[in-house]
A and B are shown apart, each in its own frame.
Chain A
């Protein structure tokens, strides 16, 4: 046997074969055409001796077909020598075809890399994980938060312009802060000339990003935000003409920020202004609105920290963010983040700590050392050994007499340390600690700080899978997890990329940023409902016939978007309409994102359905193409135009799959409105899909597609895989070749409860160290 064969690097195990099969459509798609002939010849003439995947056959030719010869070289060898019994049987084009196939499928290095089962890779914190971890590091001193039922703002109304318990007239929860009292009294028993309203609450951010807080007030007002000593807006002095206060601040998803708003009408000799106050915001990508009740909690959370430092984006080439790149800009941003955190540690946490530990001994600055020790242990997710304590605490404290400088030194060193930046560097810690670290990382993108969780670590109550599972259940409804779930769904439904969705104002008059903002609110509320309600059912993403709507959306989108109740909060449940609504599959936010400025884009929609919703792999296009200009083909529908452009056989390899799915959504125009005609011709929304197990499903339109997705194995598996990788940030196959199937079955058996899936994902990822330990 003369094939140039290297020593086998590893033997192909059954796991490998499975992994190979799981590697989806890229090879399927490619093999059908490019490698069709080679595959055929190989399986008929070569596999008998070399094995189906070149793994070798013990009785015939045992060595695996792997090596570094080029395709040309291989072809020559084959042409000259193969098959052994009749070398003339496979020559010329045939030999080249076989060479190309085996090189691609298992022989070449690229193929071997592709076929190697993924492993867990050490990764640093992603930007969001760094942000969340620092928020919790602060919280570990400031106090735990909780899920709070009551929405709104706690209000105390006083007669008179100051706090006076005897003149406390009204105590209630206001749903939002938006009042125009004019020259009237704000309530019974209160003089209109002189009153004081004290609002306290917590503002909950669902998404990480830049928010603009807008306080409008004609009277004296102050706003403390995040901490009672952080005066964000100080208008203690009412001064004519100064009635609008705007502040930009970066908030972190799933976090509550306590605030205290004082509003005072003061009696005076001169004319009083009418009393008007509103607390608004411009959320990321949104428009200015009164901060809605759903983002207000009628309680005061402990002080909170939100990193303002800008962090560079992480690598997301695998479809989820991974901390695998070490760059100068990232390194600098970690320095900046550490410096920013150290300010708050010095200004707020250290005084708080001193206050709580008044009676402790302070010999040799013991308090400072203990404070910094606790800080480092939380940041490092585990106890400090003697060497580390000396390095990270004692040497830094001894280096300066100034407490704040010592704090700054420790923060710089600890928050730039690999012990903090690499969340899984914890093999020196207990099993329970390691499980907790992973649960917090997967569910919160953060580190364990909640007292109850730390207690479990202390008592070593996280050392079994059952315990991990149970703990994941206690964590899954946390706001932090909800925030992460929201951003995952943005990712999966492909609506997170951009906040602005510009459209041609002639073709789509009225489709403005306010409509987009309402659509986002509608999308958010709907997916929250599907994930977190008791009746949680993933399939509702595709088959629900209702959504959340606003009056503005009803005006733009028509009757199907009318609220059930004529009156109510701005965002409320819509009427049912099964004809035009398929969960969020065709939500206008999704449809308009997957469209051009003037026309729909069946290609974008088809790629989205293939890649995201069905988890199929597509090769990038052969070249960059500009879409055909609709103005040059006025007689064609979008469907006809796209078909025309992609009719080439080379394009069809992928586009027969892309277009066939994308066309099914053609009843929804570039802003997601229902349409039955285009260019005065009826819309053809028929399409089809070839499943992973090679069954063809046909659709008459979006409704058929939606019903299919709800029950499609491909779709279920795609969701499970995407969720796993988004939350865990490691490939699911690294957790065992059957993990994806196991989780998908479990998901199906739970009645498609997303929450249950998330618990299963977290428990799987968190108990990985337990398994490794067992194996060891």
Chain B
């Protein structure tokens, strides 16, 4: 029997690297612990709102020989790693309007609590009664030393409005515990790299600082210089330590240039979180997501574009009206219909960009690319915007994190989406009998995916 490979922590301990320095050094793919035997499975739940135009979304043909429709066209080059799942329905009833249940029950598979948020014509509701699948997997991963990561999960947002309500929250840490996504890429950057970045900045200013100590000494008596001297020595020692640390990471970085570009990604300066910057923000967030996967900061992520009822105005596509407004238009409104196709295609482009970036990064310490070990689950709160149906929720998978037999268009017969959630947790290594409301889990995980 082979001996257990040492854990990352053991490795750090042997190197004599402290925890913080470890985070700094090992935020780099080359040094991330590579000897883990089982592959690192990852998953991203990517949300876009207001349903799709089914006719231009779902393939007509099932199986391997499926046709890629207009909206999915940006994903055509990933056809082999693509799976569409038609016929999966969010059947959760109870309080809340279609949009609320659409997003609030999407990853939780359970009803919303009674509450006071009134939307549309249904009853008002509060938060979800249960944990969402991403947080469920995070808890499993974090309690397994082999799969533990610094953050466990990361919640990315793209222009999610700055208010907490049932329409803006997809992820739940538990009953009545909504998780707020981070929509400001700079804030996410700080969360991921703040410490490393600050140390870089510190290293670059300390030299100036010790110079200034000399000037300041002129302001005081020689007796009092004692404490300043002691202080500046401390500053120099820290500076030296940081320089050594940075030189090491520089070296590591250079050997990785082909993989990642930069260990600490470069962010474009001064991008405000506002509607017109959405394309840029979407890309920045994707870069951060890919980097954090490559650095093994987390293996689970959500990526939420706006919110349920999201009203992005895609002026860059020549569309002035908000998405939600348009989604209520009847199919007969040709202009709106066409614009909705364009909007959804834009979302598909984001999915494709994420897939592309994942495919470009080699799996650290493994074979293939990140995409070979990651599944993007692209989903939506509605099947179709103007009917508010939660039948045929657009579930599109890209990548091989779940180990399913990809490159197929699947068709199910109105199965409850709880079963898909069961399939996901099973594929991630944690089979469950039920997830969310047990009434919708009856037949267990979906079959035919492997």
Indicate if the CB atoms of A239 and B208 lie closer than 8 Å: no
| 20 chain-A/chain-B pairs, Cβ below 8 angstroms | A237-B115, A237-B165, A237-B166, A241-B175, A268-B118, A326-B231, A328-B237, A331-B234, A388-B212, A388-B215, A391-B208, A400-B269, A402-B267, A405-B201, A412-B201, A413-B208, A416-B209, A417-B212, A425-B216, A427-B220
CB distance from A65 to the nearest CB of B (A): 26
Report A-chain residues with C-beta under 8 Å of the C-beta of B165: 236-237
Shortest C-beta distance, A29 to chain B (Å), equals 32
Q: Is the CB of B127 within 8 A of A239?
A: yes
Q: How far is the CA of A422 from the CA of B208 in the complex (A)?
A: 18
Chain A residue numbers with a CB within 8 Å of B198 are 335, 339, 408, 412
User: CB within 8 A of B219: which of A241, A421, A427?
Assistant: A427
- Nearest-Cβ distance from residue A125 to partner chain B, whole angstroms: 12
Instruction: List 7 additional A-B contacts (Cβ < 8 Å) besides A324-B227, A413-B209.
Output: A220-B116, A237-B126, A238-B116, A239-B112, A268-B116, A343-B190, A413-B208
Within 8 A of B (CB), among A289-345: 324, 326-328, 331, 335, 339, 343
Complex: A400 Cα to B269 Cα, angstroms: 9
Indicate if B21 sits at the interface (CB-CB under 8 A).
Answer: no
Inter-chain contact A408/B124, CB cutoff 8 Å: no
List of B residues within 8 angstroms of A327 by Cβ: 234
Q: Mark B166-190, 1 if CB is under 8 A from A, else 0.
A: 1000000001100000000010001
In this complex, what residue of B is CB-closest to A233?
B164
Given the complex of chains A and B, what is the CA–CA distance between A400 and B204 in angstroms?
Answer: 12
B123 within 8 A of A: yes
Q: How far apart sit A428 and B190, CA to CA, in the bound complex (Å)? A: 38
Which parts of B188-247 form the interface with A (CB within 8 Å)?
190, 194, 198, 201-202, 204-205, 208-209, 211-213, 215-216, 219-220, 223-224, 227-228, 230-231, 234-235, 237-238
Is A122 within 8 A of B228, CB to CB? yes
Whether the pair B202, A266 counts as a contact (CB closer than 8 A) is no
Q: Which of B201, B202, B223, B270 is packed against the most chain A CB atoms within 10 Å?
A: B201
**Residue of B163, B202, B213, B267 with most partner-chain A CB within 10 A:** B202
| Distance in Å: Cβ of B249 to nearest Cβ of chain A | 18
CB distance from B354 to the nearest CB of A (A): 24
Docked pose: A219 CA to B112 CA in angstroms:
16
- Measured in the bound complex, the distance between the Cα atoms of B99 and A213 in whole Å is 33
In the bound complex, CA of A400 to CA of B205 (Å)? 13
1/0 per residue, CB under 8 A from B, across A258-292: the answer is 00000011101111100000000000000000000
- Using known A-B contacts A122-B228, A237-B116, A400-B269, determine if residue A418 contacts B213 with beta carbons closer than 8 Å: yes
A2 contacts the other chain (CB 8 A)? no
Top 4 nearest A-B pairs by Cβ distance?
A239-B126, A402-B269, A122-B224, A266-B116
Q: Contact at A237–B212, with CB atoms within 8 Å?
A: no
Task: Return B318 CB to nearest CB of chain A, in Å.
Answer: 30
Chain B residues near A (Cβ < 8 Å)? 95, 112-118, 123-127, 163-166, 175-176, 186, 190, 194, 198, 201-202, 204-205, 208-209, 211-213, 215-216, 219-220, 223-224, 227-228, 230-231, 234-235, 237-238, 267, 269-270
Is the Cβ of A412 less than 8 Å from the Cβ of B202?
yes
Can you name the residue of chain B whose Cβ is closest to the Cβ of A427?
B219
A129 to chain B, nearest CB (A): 15
- The answer on a CB contact under 8 Å between B116 and A219 is yes
A425-B95 contact, Cβ under 8 Å, with A240-B113, A413-B208: no
Contact among A236, A331, A426 for B235, CB-based, below 8 A: A331
A241 / chain B contacts, CB cutoff of 8 Å: 113, 175-176
A266: chain B residues within 8 A (beta carbon):
116, 118, 124
Pair A401/B220 contact, Cβ less than 8 Å: no
**CB proximity of B170 to chain A, nearest CB, Å:** 14
User: Given the complex, which residues of A lie within 8 Å of B219, measured CB to CB?
Assistant: 425-428
| Interface size, chain A (Cβ < 8 Å) | 58
Determine if B176 and A401 form an interchain contact, defined as CB atoms under 8 angstroms apart. no
Contact in complex: A409, B201 (CB < 8 Å): yes
| A236 CA to B116 CA, complexed, in Å | 9
A624 at the interface (CB under 8 A from B): no
Assess the B212–A270 pair: CB atoms within 8 A.
Answer: no
Q: Quick check: B208 and A395 within 8 Å, CB to CB?
A: yes
A716 to chain B, nearest CB (A): 33
- Contact status B234-A328, CB under 8 Å: yes
Contact of A404 among B115, B186, B223 (CB under 8 A): B186
For window 408-457 of A, CB contacts with B under 8 Å fall at 408-409, 412-413, 416-419, 421-422, 425-428
Give the shortest distance, in Å, between A737 (CB) and chain B (any CB).
20
**A residues with CB within 8 A of B:** 119, 121-124, 219-220, 234-242, 264-266, 268-272, 324, 326-328, 331, 335, 339, 343, 387-388, 391, 395-396, 399-405, 408-409, 412-413, 416-419, 421-422, 425-428
Interface on chain A toward B: helix, strand, loop, or mixed SS? loop
CB distance from A243 to the nearest CB of B (A): 10
- B224 near A270 with CB under 8 A, answer no
Contacts known (A237-B166, A388-B212); A399 close to B231, Cβ less than 8 A: no
Kindly report which residue of chain A lies nearest to residue B164, judged by CB atoms. Answer: A234
Closest CB in chain A relative to B191 CB, distance in Å: 12
In the bound complex, do residue B216 and residue A240 qualify as a contact, i.e. CB atoms below 8 Å apart? no
Residues of B contacting A403 with CB < 8 Å? 269-270
Question: Provided the pairs A122-B224, A238-B126 are in contact, do residues A418 and B216 lie with their beta carbons within 8 angstroms?
Answer: yes
Shortest distance in angstroms between A224's beta carbon and chain B's nearest beta carbon? 12
Shortest CB distance A729–B (Å): 14
Residue of A nearest to B223 (CB): A119
CA distance A122 to B198 in the complex (A): 29
A269-B124 contact, Cβ under 8 Å, with A239-B176, A412-B198? yes
With contact pairs A331-B235, A401-B269, A413-B208 given, residues A237 and B117 touching in the complex (Cβ less than 8 Å)? yes
- Please give, as numbers and ranges, the residues of chain B lying within 8 Å of A268 by CB-CB distance: 116, 118, 123-124
Closest to A332 in B: B238
The CA of A408 and the CA of B193, in the complex, are separated in Å by 14
In the bound complex, residues from chain B placing their C-beta under 8 Å from that of A396 are 205
B201 A237 Cβ-Cβ under 8 A: no
Asked if A270 and B114 make an inter-chain contact with CB atoms under 8 angstroms apart, the answer reads yes
Closest to B217 in A: A418
Task: Please name all residues of chain A whose beta carbon is closer than 8 Å to the beta carbon of B228 when the two chains form the complex.
Answer: 122, 418, 422
Tell whether, in the assembled complex, residue A326 and residue B215 are in contact, meaning their CB atoms are under 8 Å apart.
Answer: no
Interface centre among A270, A395, A419 (most CB of B within 10 A): A270
Within the assembled complex, what's the spacing in Å between the Cα atoms of A268 and B208? 63
Q: How far is the CA of A17 from the CA of B7 in the complex (A)?
A: 68
In the complex formed, the residue of B with least CB distance to A330 is: B234
Residues of A within 8 A of B238 (CB): 328, 331
A-side contacts of B269, CB under 8 Å: 400-403, 405
The answer to whether B114 touches A124, judged by C-beta atoms less than 8 angstroms apart, is no
Are A413 and B205 CB-contacts (below 8 A) given A237-B166, A239-B113, A241-B113? yes
A770 to B213, CA, bound (A): 25
Name the A residues within 8 Å of B176 (CB-CB): 239, 241-242
Interface residue from A236, A326, A339, A399 paired with B227 (Cβ < 8 Å): A326
Known contacts A268-B118, A396-B205, A408-B198; A419 and B216 CB within 8 A of each other: yes
Q: List residues of chain B with CB within 8 A of the CB of A391.
A: 208, 211-212
Contacting pair B114 A240 (CB below 8 A): yes
From A270, A395, A427, contact of B95 by CB (8 A): A270
Find chain B residues with CB under 8 A from A234 CB: 163-164
Distance, CA A324 to CA B227, complexed state (A) = 7
CA distance A328 to B202 in the complex (A): 15
Is A425 touching B202 in the complex (CB atoms < 8 A)?
A: no
Tell me if B224 and A121 are in contact (CB < 8 A).
yes
CA distance A403 to B211 in the complex (A): 25
Q: Which residues of A contact B220 (CB under 8 A)?
A: 122, 425, 427
Smallest CB-CB separation from A266: which chain B residue?
A: B116
CB distance from A477 to the nearest CB of B (A): 33
Could you say which residues of chain B place their CB within 8 Å of the CB of A236? 117, 163-165
Which residues of chain B are within 8 angstroms of A400 by Cβ–Cβ distance? 269
Which residue on chain A has the smallest CB distance to residue B241? A328
Residues of A within 8 A of B231 (CB): 124, 326, 418, 421
Minimum C-beta distance from A415 to chain B (A): 11
A525–chain B nearest beta-carbon distance, Å: 39
